[in-house]
Each structure stands twice: as structure tokens, then as C-alpha cells.
Amino acid sequence: MNIPVIEAQALTKTYGAATALAGVSLTVQRGESVAIMGASGSGKTTLLHALAGIIAPDSGRVVFTPATGAAVEVTATGERERSRLRRESFGFVFQQGLLIPELTALENIALAMMINGSPRSSALQHSAGWMASLGLAGLEERRIGELSGGQAQRVAIARAQVTGAELVFADEPTGALDSHTSGEVMDALLWSSTGQGRTLLVVTHEADVAARCSRTVHVRDGRILGAEVSA
């Protein structure tokens, strides 16, 4: 049976005279990898941010259904609850990683666990395991500026996954990478999310990246034009 992990119903969002979302509805099933494609300004990133509770839509609702526990209407919760969801249930990978340059690669990953209350020692140990799984063993003590672009993105992926996030949001995760490195990062992202029974939403303008996902949703002018299932 298909089980929705997150659902959006009739989302709208405007910025002044510009319409970013014009009544968007979307259902994502648990374990799916969904690519959201569209040109710059199409509304794809606004949609991702609304689903993740980073921004509040003007109208409509977003419902997140965890694997255990009751469904949560994200759009009806306060900022404290949305922050908790982003810390505990959602993971994020951005185009530039948004890692902390003063920390080592290992500390960047472990920080996500420590913010949730894990002791430093266990957070570092668990994070080291994720680094090894993503081909980063031996790079634990390097600062972010000492890593390649692909290595830094794999650190960001580990940070997104280390807390056990059920749903990972990735906004142009390969946008700053060459095609070969892009493929390696997508391998890591898919393995660490849907490969572990989790769910992945990827905003991208790259057809090669979208083709790696199980479904692609096309957005233009704040509306979903259609979807296609990958072969």
C-alpha cells in the first residue's frame, strides 16, 4: 500500500506582484525519490521550502506523516514545532552545502546530532560511520576548505542523514559540480536516502539528475504542469 509521507494541498505564495505558487498540490509516497524541475523563477524552490516548513504559504496546507506517530499539519504549527521537525525528521542538502568552515568535516556532521541532544562522543562516532559509508574515511579532520566540491557535498549529505531524518530535501545539490562529480554525489544521495528506506525530494534544473529519481514533477509559473515516472 502506498503511504504518503508528505502532502501539499492548494499551496499559494506571492511576493509582491509575483506569484511563486498558484494552488500547488503534491503527494509524495514514503520511499520515493521525487525531482522537482523547472526554470529559474518557476516556483520549485518555493515549493520545497513550503513543504519543509522553512516558509509559510499564504494559503493551503502541508501534512507530514511520520513512520510512527500521528500526522502533523506543518502549516498549522508554530515556528518552534517546525524547527523541531527540521532538526529531527527532515534533512537538508543545499547547492553550496552551507557547512561551517571553522569546523572539521566530522564536527560538521556530528553537530546535527549534538543539537538534538546527543553526547559529543557518540555523535562523533556515529558521524564517522557515515563518513566511511560515503567514501570519506580519512578526511574526518579536514576543514571544509580542504575538501573538493564533491567531498563537501557528501559531508552535507551525511549531515542530512545522521539524525535519521525520514525525509531529505535537496535544493540543487549538484548545481555547482561537474558531470562526473554530480553523478557521484547523486549516487551518495540516493544510497543514503531511498536506499535506506527514506524519502528524497530534489529540486534541480538538470535532466540527468531528475532521471535518477523515481518520479519527476515539472513546475512552471507556480503551477505543476505534469509528472513522469522514470523507466
Residue 80 gets the label, from left (phi > 0), alpha (psi -120 to 50) or beta, of: alpha
Question: Please, what is the Cα angle at 125 between 32 and 86, to 5 degrees?
Answer: 40
Rounded Cα distance between 75 and 58, Å, is 10
Q: What are phi and psi of 105, to 5 degrees?
A: -55, -45
Rounded Cα distance between 123 and 114, Å, is 6
Rg of the chain, C-alpha, whole Å: 17
**For 56-82, what is the HEC assignment?**
CCCEEEEEECCCCCCCEEHHHCCHHHH
**How big is the chain, counted in residues?**
231
Q: What is the dihedral of CA 55, 56, 62, 63, to 10 degrees?
A: 80
Q: Where are the domains of the chain?
A: 4-229
- Where helices occur in 62-221 by DSSP H, the ranges are 79-88, 105-115, 120-133, 149-161, 179-192, 207-211
Q: What is the pLDDT along the chain (231 residues), one digit of tens a residue?
A: 577 999 999 999 999 999 999 999 999 999 999 999 998 889 999 999 999 999 999 999 999 999 988 999 999 999 999 999 998 999 999 876 679 999 999 999 999 999 989 999 999 999 999 999 999 999 999 999 999 999 999 999 999 999 989 999 999 988 878 888 889 889 999 999 999 999 999 999 889 999 999 999 999 999 998 777 775
pLDDT confidence of residue 40? 87
Which CATH homologous superfamily contains domain 4-229? P-loop containing nucleotide triphosphate hydrolases (3.40.50.300)
pLDDT confidence of residue 97? 60
* pTM of the complete model: 0.91
pLDDT confidence of residue 178? 86
pLDDT confidence of residue 18? 93
Question: Which residue reads 524519502 in cell numbers?
Answer: 199
In what order do the strands lie in the sheet containing 72-73?
18-29, 4-15, 59-64, 72-73
What are the distances in angstroms from CA 65 to CA 62, 88, 165, 193, 194? 10, 13, 13, 17, 17
Element (H, E) at 34: strand 33-37
